[in-house]
Amino acid sequence: MIKYYLLLPLVALLASVEAYAASSVLIWPIDPVLEADQQASALWLENRGSETANLQIRVFSWAQNGFDDQYQNQRDVVGSPPVAKIEPGHKQLVRLTRTRDVPPGQELAYRVIIDEIPSAEPAAGDSEGKTDAAIRFQMRYSVPLFVYGSGLWSKEDLTRSRDPKGAGAADLIWRKMVINGRTFIEIQNRGAVHARLTDVSFKQANTLHPIAEGLLGYVLPGSTMRWPVPDKTPIEKVLQMRINGLPIIQELAASQ
């Protein structure tokens, strides 16, 4: 299993420390998909920083087991080029290409992991002769990728003609769990496509009690995920959230 987002090196406290990232990478789209009639999808990387960005691009299969995200090496979807050197102000196209078909009516999940490779340049001392220890952060960007078999799609795209009968939806149920005195919510997805959960909260009268004000996480088809509830949060019968970025807040009653 790999960890993603931001990796920080372990460092000692020093008298004078300068911490900086080598670059700032803008990635779009943040939700690429490969539908049944598409052989490849485009992912753009743009260097908004002041230094050259050296990046490694890998694609891992993504599953959920034991209430945890799990990633495995695979060759069903490949990213090209696998490494990129992007100068400040420039951008790079990465093609995400499938090498096999997905079974009809299925969604498969992947994570595109983009690692920034820090330069090996030593830090310079300041003009007063003080020793600066430069901590170069290695940034790790993680982008979800969903690939579909024939007869299924989920992402709205007005530029494409699709059969409305193939539109997939998440089908969620939830329940409260108390484990070793800690309260959790478990959310199960019985639908054909993933659920991206944001703005999750309990509503008591006219007061919202957030579980997550932004992104809580994903629940893949056929999976169950678990998240802790903040202390002293009142547990109501109805949990409300946004699913897959839809503007309408949806409400879920607790399962019996």
Q: Indicate if the pLDDT at residue 94 is higher than 90.
A: yes
Cβ contact 19:135 at 8 Å:
yes
The domain that holds 204 is classified in CATH as 2.60.40.3970
Residues 141, 205 within the same domain: no
Residues 61, 140 within the same domain: yes
Residues 132, 231 within the same domain: no
In the chain, the number of structural domains is 2
Residues 142, 208 within the same domain: no
* pLDDT mean across residues, the chain: 86
Q: Indicate if the pLDDT at residue 10 is higher than 50.
A: no
Is position 78 within any domain?
Answer: yes
How far apart are the C-alpha atoms of 53 and 47, rounded to whole Å?
A: 7
DSSP per-residue letters across 79-98: EESSEEEE-TT-EEEEEEEE
Average pLDDT over residues 170-181: 95
The structure's pTM equals 0.85
pLDDT attached to residue 8: 31
The confidence band for 56, taking pLDDT boundaries of 50, 70 and 90, is very high
- Which residue segment(s) compose the domain that 22 sits in? 6-148
Ramachandran assignment for 230, one of left (phi > 0), alpha (psi -120 to 50 degrees), beta (any other): beta
CA angle 41, 47, 49 (to 5 degrees): 160
Task: Kindly list the distances between the CA atom of residue 25 and the CA atoms of 41, 50, 136, 238, in Å, as whole numbers in the listed order.
Answer: 19, 11, 15, 39
Average pLDDT over residues 128-132: 50
Residues 194, 103 within the same domain: no
The confidence band for 200, taking pLDDT boundaries of 50, 70 and 90, is very high
Is position 197 within any domain?
Answer: yes
The domain that holds 113 is classified in CATH as 2.60.40.10
CA angle 131, 135, 141 (to 5 degrees): 165
pLDDT attached to residue 253: 83
